[in-house]
Amino acid sequence: MLDIEDMKKLAGSGKASRREFIQFALAAGIGVAAAETMFGEAVAATPKQGGSARFGLAHGATTDTLDPAGYPDTGTQVPFWGAMSNSLTEVDAKGNITADLVESMEPVDGAKTWRFKLLKGVTFHNGKSFTAEDVIASYRYHMGPNSKSAAKSLLQAVTDIKADGPDTVVFSLSGGNADFPYICSDYHIPILPAKPDGTADWQSGARTGAFVFESWQPGVQAKLKRNPNYHKSGKPHFDEVTFLTLADVSARTNALTTGEVDWIGRCDLKTLGMLKRDPHVAITEVTGYGHYVFPMMVDKPPFDNVDVRTALKYALNREEISKKIFFGHAKPGNDNPIAPGVKFAINPKPQFAYDPEKAKFHLKKAGMSNLKVDLSIADAAFNGAVDAAVLYQQHAKAAGIDINIIREPDDGYWDNVWLKKSWCGGYWSGRPTCDWMFTTVYATGAAWNETHYANPKFQSLLLAARSETDDKKRAGMYAEMQQLLHDDGGVIVLVFNNYVEANSKKLAHNAIAPNWEADGLKIAERWWFA
């Protein structure tokens, strides 16, 4: 006997017409209006196969390569990792880690060793079978003293990788890490086929992903076609995908409205209202893990005094900046770099809001009646950084703080200003776990510790929480760490920026993942033509 769920499936696959569905629903006691909506939803949520989709990316340069040690921006990440490759694990729409090329993941010995049982029957685009050797080669490529990879520091804790039969890989870490599977989902570590000599082959472009490499002009466009042997049945839905690099935002927007592309990333916030009015365009907005920061170096005066730092945190009107500079497409921060959607995230108290009186109070506690500081900033830090700094300057005046804005050149900002000047601006794309975010930026001695934060309590908690497998204990530790950073740290987290993207209404999708742009960079695999 059929029930309404079976009927929905039949409707979705086109085997039941609207008339049949409604008749059935009426018999089941569901009203006509409700049945109509159900039918519409069932049809929309079931992916249809076919079509050639074109995506307009905001990045891409002539210096891009297929080498996963690089993949500097969406111009390579979306086509060559998200569409063409797989990592061992992936982050789903809810921010949880799920298996991609593995059957199971088992922590052993206090999460110091991880056993990954690999998926069977997976083949690379060139026909080679997927085995443990490929995993070992792919990971070793990023490790070792001569590696130029951006993932080198990520994998520093891995002391050994061994195969235990053709289907099992054992990772040995220098310290317990309950979040190791998250690290495996990084876009720098796609699984590459191993060459006969044991090294990884990234040059041929043969991977395990949903689409197969067809042609590529770096900085211009990449064409991929459907992989008929993809290990996720039913996916992908498109027959062919093309990724165009459209760096100029007006060209990108026009390309979408004139139908040259079906999706664009990084919409222009200033004209978003006009784009919304276009009846053929839908806007998607996701609050991800990315955030914009003003990091202060806590070992350089005057930022070495915690009251000065707190005064500066209170002298900033984050709400106004979010509304005026980001047009409301950003969530005001609270000096906690952990995004609200991440597991174990808390909102430390008190929420830093604009309060010139409190700022003055903390200045007095530090023994000053007014304060003069330099802020080195450029739009290279994040779009709108200079404007945000100017607004900040005005806000801080009411608290007796005189911020001197030093406008730095965009070119060379990351070499000369970030990590060098005692107060500047920056951005983070965020990480899906507390440990990863803290280790990358706030651990004592980390390469990117922009605030030179070196709090022994924070550091000891960091190491303890990493190998802690009891969720309740972990939650307590991470809560304490977030509160510490909020009260004592040198970073001002201005806002969590939303990913604002637009697509033609011809495309359909499920819930969008928050970890990276373009639906976790996997838009080609996850979306379909409605």
Partner 1 sequence: MSPIIKTVLQRLGLGLLTLFAVSIIIFFTVTMLPGDFAQAMLGQAATPETVAAFDREIGLDRPPVERYFNWLGGVLQGDFGNSFASQGSLGGGHARSVMSLIAPRLANTLFLAGFAAAVAVPLALGLGVLAALYRGTIFDRLINVVTLTSISMPEFFVAYILMLFLAVRWPIFHSLATVSPNTPFLEHLWRCALPALTLVLVIVAHMMRMTRASLIGLLSSPYMEMARLKGLSPRRLMLRHALPNAWAPIATVVALNLAYLIVGVVVVEVVFVYPGIGQLMVNSVSARDIPVVQGCALIFAATYILLNLLADILSIVTNPRLLHPR
Return residues touching partner 1 (CB under 8 A): 61-65, 67, 70, 72-73, 145-150, 152-153, 202-203, 215, 217-221, 244-248, 250-251, 254-255, 257-258, 260-261, 411-412, 414-416, 447-448
Please, what is the minimum distance in Å from the beta carbon of residue 500 to partner 1?
21
Please, what is the minimum distance in Å from the beta carbon of residue 277 to partner 1?
14
User: By C-beta, is 4 or 446 nearer to partner 1?
Assistant: 446
Cβ atoms of 327 and 271 closer than 8 Å: no
User: By C-beta, is 5 or 415 nearer to partner 1?
Assistant: 415
Please, what is the minimum distance in Å from the beta carbon of residue 385 to partner 1?
15
Please, what is the minimum distance in Å from the beta carbon of residue 247 to partner 1?
7
518: Cβ contacts below 8 Å, ≥ 6 apart: 55, 57, 74, 78, 82, 263, 265, 499, 501
How many whole angstroms separate alpha carbon 90 and alpha carbon 46?
22
User: By C-beta, is 49 or 217 nearer to partner 1?
Assistant: 217
Residue 332, preceding peptide bond in cis (omega within 30° of 0): no
Instruction: Locate 319 and state its tokens.
Output: 């709400």
User: By C-beta, is 195 or 457 nearer to partner 1?
Assistant: 195
User: By C-beta, is 133 or 278 nearer to partner 1?
Assistant: 278
DSSP one-letter code for 198 = S
From the list 438, 465, 436, the residue with the least C-alpha distance to 449 is 438
User: By C-beta, is 119 or 424 nearer to partner 1?
Assistant: 424
CA dist 25 to 1, 30, 33, 44, 373, Å?
A: 14, 5, 10, 18, 69
User: By C-beta, is 246 or 345 nearer to partner 1?
Assistant: 246
Residue 301, preceding peptide bond in cis (omega within 30° of 0): no
CB neighbour class for 182 (10 Å; exposed up to 12, middle 13-18, buried from 19): buried
Phi and psi based region of residue 446 (left: phi greater than 0; alpha: psi -120 to 50; beta: remaining): beta
Please, what is the minimum distance in Å from the beta carbon of residue 188 to partner 1?
8
From the list 403, 407, 401, 416, the residue with the least C-alpha distance to 385 is 407
The helix/strand/coil state of 94 is coil
Determine how many CB atoms are found less than 10 A away from the CB of residue 139: 21
User: By C-beta, is 183 or 311 nearer to partner 1?
Assistant: 183
From the list 396, 385, 453, 391, the residue with the least C-alpha distance to 424 is 385
Please, what is the minimum distance in Å from the beta carbon of residue 20 to partner 1?
40
Determine how many CB atoms are found less than 10 A away from the CB of residue 470: 9
Please, what is the minimum distance in Å from the beta carbon of residue 67 to partner 1?
6
- Residue 461's φ and ψ, nearest 5 degrees, are -65, -40
Instruction: Locate 393 and state its tokens.
Output: 């300057």
Please, what is the minimum distance in Å from the beta carbon of residue 350 to partner 1?
31
How many whole angstroms separate alpha carbon 206 and alpha carbon 502?
31
User: By C-beta, is 260 or 487 nearer to partner 1?
Assistant: 260
Please, what is the minimum distance in Å from the beta carbon of residue 170 to partner 1?
27
